[in-house]
Amino acid sequence: MTCIKRVVIAGGGTSGWLTAAAIAKLYGKQVKVTLVDCAEIGKIGVGEATIPPLRNFHRLLGIEESEFMAATQATFKLGIEFNNWARQGDKYIHSFGVTGKDCWACDFHHFWLAGYNKDLADSFGEYNVERQAAIQNRLLPGDSGKLNYAYHLDSGLYAEFLRSHALKHGVRHINGKIEHVDMSVSDGSIQALILNDGSKIDGDLFIDCSGFRAILIGEALNISYEPYGHFLPCDSAIAIQTESASELPPYTESIAHEFGWQWRIPLQHRFGNGLVYCSRHVSDGLAEERLLQSLQTDPVSEPRRFQYQTGRRIQAWHKNCVAIGLSSGFLEPLESTSIHLAMSAILRLLKFFPRESIVEEAVLSFNRQTQDEMEMIRDFIILHYKATERNDSDFWRYCARMEIPETLEHRIKLFNSNGGLLIANKELFQVDSWAQVMLGQRILPKDHHPIVDLMGDDELDRFLKSYKNFVSDRVGAFPLHKKAIENYCRSCVTEESS
């Protein structure tokens, strides 16, 4: 029986250093953590938007929020604004936080539906604090504001911040190119990484954070990949950085085009921009031209193009190798889930972390939970494409006609019929997220929960107005987003250059 004493991580970047920091912080007294930063592994480095669970993960690692935000040139994020998705000219925000106030029998959107059909309700977003704060460019950081927010950050600076944090907890860092993976003849597990200078990095547990290349889980262990391209047709992206602007909206912008969509992400020192597209419907050259023509501030970098394949590794944990990050799978950045999926996999590994030997039941549970998580998030992202009325291009006509997983088809039909949303506690996107996107994509339920009808029109009117006023009063007390950054987490680099 082999004790797990040596953990070897292949790949730096966000996933690698996030994994190293977490294992070293929590298990550093029991295991030795070595990270091999492979020079040949290209880092995508465009994952600049996050979602709220990262805040709790940072607390677990002992990361102080204002320090982290200043170091990564971060701004606050309250949601994602979707433009031109259901129809050209449409606009809605998928915001964080809770919309309205529900009851024991049904969720708030049922009360809203009844009010909407009786001309008693305003737009759905009027009843969400985070959404109203987003459009008014206001935010109160920290726990005092009781806001559900995330971050926009510089992914390169974030990796460096995590690297520094991990090294403080004793992680051994080796720069080197992996030339060969030494495998056990007896059981096919990984024994060591052989670097280009001849050095040998032995380990008991290996973590593959080598990105799309998947040096360990894919190349060495030959674990296959299940593609999602028939559900998520975009397969290419172009990223470029531009100058900052006077206004820094506390949300990510997602603007649909005739062959994909474009992101715009505000940081303290610049904007991150990119175009996600389907190469079957537009050439790389035309996609880049569209991106450059739509920039709102001047470029400060050259365009970077990369291709990807959405999908998941059939087994994220095989023998003594665990894939985390892009080596495990990839769902396009539409809902900013890439860093979250790495974080979630790390938490899952910490939960099932082997002590004296790798337990097969733990591996099976890890892989099942990984698959469930990927498929539930996959369905949520597909919803944005499928629920469209656009027919102005071959791309959108394909999306409207394409077959979708039965799990998603059931959700759409249920919501469309009576506003029902049956969400498991373990799902990342809960009722508020599904309702906002369903309604934003013009899926309006034909009926609402019958318990709402126990409330008379006058009572329903008072209920909706009262909560809308509550939201308005609360948001009105928040400072402007830019002021919140200046007082809480302004970067010294930004300050010096301004």
Question: What class has domain 236-307?
Answer: alpha beta
Query: What residues does CATH 3.50.50.60 cover in the chain?
Result: 6-48+154-229+310-376
- Burial class for 185, CB neighbours closer than 10 Å (0-12, 13-18, 19+): exposed
The one-letter amino acid code at 386 reads: K
Residue 182's alpha-carbon distances to 18, 190, 292, in angstroms, are 25, 6, 46
Residues in the chain where the model's pLDDT stays below 50: 1, 495-498
Instruction: Report pLDDT for 356.
Output: 85
Greatest alpha-carbon pair distance for the chain in Å reads: 79
CB 20 within 8 A of CB 33: yes
Among this protein's residues, is 77 annotated catalytic? Answer: yes
Instruction: Report pLDDT for 103.
Output: 84
The structure tokens listed for 108 are 């708030």
Dihedral of CA 209/212/217/221: which sign?
A: negative
Cite the beta strand spans of 89-170 per DSSP E: 91-95, 150-152
| Structure-token match 């172009």, residue found | 238
State the CATH architecture for 6-48+154-229+310-376: 3-Layer(bba) Sandwich (3.50)
pLDDT in tens, 225-267: 999 999 999 999 999 999 999 899 999 999 999 999 999 999 9
Helix H segments across 208-322? 284-294
Q: Which of the following is catalytic: 25, 77, 386, 482?
A: 77
CA atoms of 151 and 265, how far apart (whole Å):
10
Phi and psi dihedrals of 191, rounded to 5? -105, -35
Helices 360-386 and 406-418, axial angle in degrees (round to 10): 50
Helix (H, G, I), strand (E, B) or coil at 260: strand
CA atoms of 212 and 210, how far apart (whole Å):
7
Helix H segments across 254-304? 284-294
Query: What residues does CATH 3.30.70 cover in the chain?
Result: 236-307
Residue 493's alpha-carbon distances to 46, 70, 264, 269, 490, in angstroms, are 20, 9, 22, 8, 9
Among 82, 477, 455, 32, smallest CA distance to 255 is for: 82
CA atoms of 287 and 276, how far apart (whole Å):
9
The structure tokens listed for 360 are 């097969």
CA atoms of 49 and 74, how far apart (whole Å):
10
Helix (H, G, I), strand (E, B) or coil at 35: strand
Phi and psi dihedrals of 385, rounded to 5? -80, -45
Which residues pair with residue 72 across a beta bridge?
none
